[in-house]
């Protein structure tokens, strides 16, 4: 299936690592132009950009902490200056930072800043260009939005709010034919996930095996490529009548009967 992304411009936040890296590669493989917006210059190698360009498309990286509103504006301005259009935004950057009920108001606010505000800020600044292109927005949320996890109030609140915004923007943007959807990962091995396993548990290997056992489909984690394929489809006009949806790409982890595992 040709997703018809060739020549179109997609911003992927956190697009050089983990799920974001998978998404950038999937868009580039379909001929889309990828703008990787991420925090630190060291996170994007020239090799990575060259690999994205290998199929004959273009790719570009913009650096800055998206917690700063100015940096979100910079991402949009730089993209438009370079390519003159924006066809889609993938809000993906986020961190499960473990700001729980015991952590206090300051940690809670920091966590919301880390995980939520930039989802809004980027779309706000990109809106005129998305209206022109009849673009598509994909918000990467989490199963935690619906299940909770314990000890991570800020992250859970942000992930839940991302689902609220997905529905809200899908409604608000109907007149412009801009589609808005969310994907909900559950268990995907990424640098963030590895860090969590290694820091939160005495025996990370045992914990990993326990988690994998509970994933109904094939008792394995979802790959970043499987996440990315769903995102690329939602960005593309092959999903042209899909909006306001929450897509769980998780091997049945969230919805299938526990007794199956």
Site string for ligand NAP, 116-145 (x = CB under 6 A): ------------------------x-x---
Catalytic residue IDs = 155
Is residue 144 within 8 Å of residue 185, measured between CB atoms?
no
Edge-first strand order for the sheet with 179-184 is 59-63, 33-38, 9-13, 88-91, 136-140, 179-184, 246-248
At 54 the three-state DSSP class reads coil
The window from 82-90, 164-172, 180-188, 238-246 that contacts ligand NAP (CB under 6 A) reads 180-188
Residue 140 or 161 having the CB closest to ligand NAP: 140
Dmax over CA atoms of the chain, in Å, equals: 54
Pairwise CA distance, residues 100 & 107, whole Å: 8
Closest CA to 101 of 56, 139, 152: 152
Q: Does 251 bind ligand NAP (CB under 6 A)?
A: no
Site string for ligand NAP, 85-114 (x = CB under 6 A): -------xxxxx-----------------x
Q: Does 35 bind ligand NAP (CB under 6 A)?
A: no
Site string for ligand NAP, 196-235 (x = CB under 6 A): ----------------------------------------
Task: Calculate the dihedral angle through the C-alpha atoms of 95, 141, 121, 78, rounding to the nearest 10 degrees.
Answer: 80
Beta bridge partners of 13: 37
Question: Residue holding tokens 């974001």?
Answer: 20
Q: Does 32 bind ligand NAP (CB under 6 A)?
A: no
Shortest Å distance, C-beta 55 to ligand NAP: 22
Residue 199 or 259 having the CB closest to ligand NAP: 199
Q: List interacting residues with ligand NAP (CB under 6 A).
A: 14, 16-20, 38-40, 43, 65-67, 92-96, 114, 140, 142, 185, 187-188, 190-193
């Amino acid at each position: 299936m040709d997703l018809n992304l060739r020549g179109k411009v997609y911003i992927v936040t956190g697009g050089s690592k983990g799920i974001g890296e998978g998404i950038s590669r999937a868009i580039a493989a379909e001929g889309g132009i990828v703008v990787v917006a991420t925090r630190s210059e060291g996170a994007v190698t020239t090799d990575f950009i060259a690999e994205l360009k290998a199929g004959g498309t273009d790719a570009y990286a913009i650096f800055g902490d998206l917690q700063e509103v100015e940096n979100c504006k910079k991402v949009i301005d730089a993209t438009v200056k370079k390519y003159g259009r924006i066809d889609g935004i993938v809000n993906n950057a986020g961190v499960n930072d473990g700001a729980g009920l015991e952590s206090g108001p300051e940690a809670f606010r920091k966590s919301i800043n880390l995980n939520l505000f930039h989802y809004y800020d980027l779309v706000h600044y990109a809106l005129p260009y998305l209206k022109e292109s009849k673009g598509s927005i994909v918000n990467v949320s989490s199963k935690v939005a619906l299940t909770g996890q314990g000890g991570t109030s800020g992250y859970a609140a942000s992930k839940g709010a991302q689902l609220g915004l997905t529905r809200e923007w899908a409604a608000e943007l109907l007149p412009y034919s801009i589609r808005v959807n969310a994907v909900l990962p559950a268990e995907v091995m990424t640098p963030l996930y590895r860090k969590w396993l290694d820091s939160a548990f005495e025996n990370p290997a045992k914990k990993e095996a326990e988690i994998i056992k509970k994933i109904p489909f094939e008792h394995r984690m979802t790959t970043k490529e499987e996440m990315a394929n769903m995102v690329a489809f939602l960005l593309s006009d092959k999903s042209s009548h899909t909006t306001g949806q929450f897509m769980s790409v998780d091997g049945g982890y969230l919805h299938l009967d526990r007794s199956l595992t």
